[in-house]
Amino acid sequence: MLSVQQLEAGYGESVILRGVTLSVEPGQVVCIMGRNGVGKTTLIKSIMGLLKARKGSVEFKGSDVTKKAPGIRAKKGIGYVPQGREIFSQLSVYENLRIGLEAVRDKTKRRSRVIPPEAVEKFPVLPAMYGRRGGDLSGGQQQQLAFARALISEPELLVLDEPTEGIQPSIVDDIRDVIRSIRDEGKTAILLVEQSLEFVRSVCDKIYIMEKGSIVWEGGKDDLDDPAVMRYLTV
């Protein structure tokens, strides 16, 4: 589904990613972990095309997208929920959701401008808030809105950057349930950045750990108790 090979990227003269290689198989939930500042969000931005790769490649479903714009990647089937959610605060919840239609591959559905009910059914609180401004929602509600917006395009790969950061425990539980349900449906693979070991153990099939812009460990959730793993995650 996704293959990243020897990826190098950075900002200005600074090199952040150093030869990152990882893969996501169809239907898998794959997690990227690591301390703050090790390059996790930089990696996600490079996969989405928001940051240009200096070296290496990004392939999606066997197609090289390394030089493709973010919008092209979205229309090929990659959904994205960024860190910080990036909700349009002055637009209504409904208008925020309609923006997700821009990435729908079916032109008929895109032109209809109708929100697919299956995209929001996983977040039943949203329809009651359609008329509210995005900026008036709580952090957890905004996270659900960003998640639903990404699902509107029916992505084959969903990329989540810190989906539980700064939100209340009840909504963390809701997001966990949504990720599990998506995995059980088997139609969409998920790549997520996450800090919580408990959350990772509850949803992920495979884990990569980053340190200083490189992948330093990979394995399954049952291997996370390895002392070597804890060396990379403890503060």
Assess if residue 43 is contained within a domain: no
Question: Tell me, what amino acid is at 192?
Answer: L
| Structural domain that includes position 154 | 2-37+48-233
Residue 188: predicted pLDDT: 93
H helices present in the chain, as ranges: 40-48, 70-76, 93-99, 107-112, 117-120, 139-151, 169-185, 197-203, 227-233
- Please give the mean pLDDT across all residues of the chain: 89
CA dist., res. 159 & res. 153, Å (int): 13
47-74 pLDDT, tens digit each: 999 999 999 999 999 999 999 999 899 9
Q: What is the pTM of this model?
A: 0.90
Q: Which CB contacts under 8 angstroms, 24+ apart, belong to 207-210?
A: 207/30, 207/31, 207/32, 207/33, 208/22, 208/30, 208/31, 208/32, 208/33, 209/32, 209/33, 209/34, 209/233, 210/20, 210/32, 210/33, 210/34, 210/38, 210/39, 210/40, 210/43
Residue 107: predicted pLDDT: 64
Assess if residue 42 is contained within a domain: no
Residue 59: predicted pLDDT: 97
Assess if residue 158 is contained within a domain: yes
- All residues at 6 or more sequence positions from 14 whose CB lies less than 8 Å from its CB, including other chains: none
CATH assignment of the domain containing 97: 3.40.50.300
Residue 228: predicted pLDDT: 67
Domain count, the chain: 1
171-195 pLDDT, tens digit each: 899 999 999 999 998 889 999 999 8
> Average pLDDT for residues 156-163, to the nearest whole number?
93
Assess if residue 181 is contained within a domain: yes
Q: How confident is the model at residue 223 (pLDDT cuts 50, 70, 90)?
A: confident
Residue 87: predicted pLDDT: 86
Lowest mean pLDDT among 53-57, 118-122, 125-129, 141-145: 118-122
